[in-house]
Each structure stands twice: as C-alpha cells, then as structure tokens.
Amino acid sequence: MKKLLVAAIAAGLVGTVNAQSAFEGGFGQLGIGYQNVSPSVSNVTISGSAGGTTLTNFPLSSSVGSSSDFTGTATIGYNFGISKDFLLGIGAEYSPLASNSSNVTANYGPDSAGAGYRATTTFKIENSYNIFISPGIVIDKDKLAYAKVGYTGASAKTAGQTLNLNGYSLGLGYKQMISGGWYGFGEVNYASYGNQNLSTSYNSVVTVGGTNYNVPTTAKATVSANTMNVIVGVGYRF
C-alpha cells in the first residue's frame, strides 16, 4: 500500500512538472488601450519665387506636436513549446484605428529684408500592422510572461500625401488563463518608424518686403515617427 501511494505521488509530481502550458498552440485576441504618437519632421526646405525673390531649397525650422488617443488591436498567432519553461510564439496584429492628428509647423523669418514664411499641416498614422516573434517564460501552466520583437508598418498622412512608414517594434506582455481557453492579457509596445522622404507642391503665401504673394511652392522634408501603447484585452487559445 505504501509503495502504491509513493508511486501515485511521484506520478502526480512528474505530471505537474511536465504539464503542457495552457498557452501552447494557436490563439486569437482583441485589445484596447492608450497610444501616444510622436512624429518627427526634419530637413524641411521650400523652393519657389515671389516678388523677384527666388527660393531654392530654402531651409526652414520645424516644430511638431505629439498626439494621444485610444487604440485597438486584433492579433492571431501560434505558440510553440520549446521546453517546459519556454514558449516561442509567432504572430501578426493589425490596428484599423487612425491616431489623432498632430500639428506640424515650418517657419522662416521674417529676415532683415522682411521676407518670411510659415506653413502648417497635420500628421496622423493609420492602418498599422506588426509581424512579430514572441519568446515566453512559463510562470506556471496558466500564466505566461513574454517579449515581442517585430517588423512594423503604418500609413502616415501629412501635407496632403500618404507615406508608407516601416520599422521595428518591441514589447512586453503577460497572459493569464481565465476559464476554458479564454485568457486576459496586458502589453506595453514601442514602435520606431524609419525615415521617409516627403515632397509636395502647393500654393502658399510668401511675404517679401511686407507684400504677400500667393505662389506655387515645393516643400521637401524627412518624416519619421515613434509610437508607444498600453493594451489590455481578452483572447482565446485554440
């Protein structure tokens, strides 16, 4: 009897140690949270002519504001069991929500000759996506801490144009089973979008010697952005 009891306890302990994580396999999840978008606009120049003054790649100073708003993501993926303590996930997520608009301002002057220039526009991102790998640490069968490293992209709308931004993403998260295959999760994510060149033509007001001229102008700039979000939500492990 004692031998049977010891064998049963040993079998139970082995089963607990080798228990499969509840998060191994396919999953889908929805999240909602708070997002901050910090665009960057640099190397701003304009070209054009007004009142006998020709501006060729004339440099301007620029200032850009950030924006904050709600965001949401839809994610699908799969977690592979590497060992009893580690999972390796792959996944893709998409956010259909557009960010709030940030204000962008470019300025020059007025100088000693009375020449001055000021242009304003807005910046926002939308249709962002992220393809990632996700190493995870199994805390216990129903709890998982994980990191994310990915390739990310988004559409940026500014100065009447749409730019395709892309870059890298980093994230940290935690998941906990609730019931059946349902779980809750929380994440913090950061994305850095690399430089894209912008060139746009439009009519603008240029002031030369106290006189305003409405003239065709070409503006060029380098555009990039960083985003950070905090997401909470629910998911289902298939």
Interatomic CA distance for residues 11 and 15, integer angstroms: 6
pLDDT attached to residue 225: 95
What's the pTM value of the predicted model, to 2 decimals? 0.81
Tens digit of pLDDT for each residue in 165-180? Answer: 999 999 999 999 999 9
Tens digit of pLDDT for each residue in 51-75? Answer: 555 666 667 788 888 999 999 999 9
How far, in Å, are 30, 143, 234 from residue 27 at the CA level? 11, 15, 11
Fold for the domain defined by 22-237: Porin (2.40.160)
- Is the pLDDT at 43 greater than 70, yes or no? yes
pLDDT attached to residue 99: 93
Domain boundaries, the chain: 22-237
Q: Which residues neighbour 131 within 8 Å (Cβ) at sequence distance 6 or greater? A: 91, 92, 150, 151, 152
Q: Which of 188, 189, 219, 224 is nearest to 206 (CA)?
A: 219
Tens digit of pLDDT for each residue in 189-205? Answer: 999 999 999 988 776 66
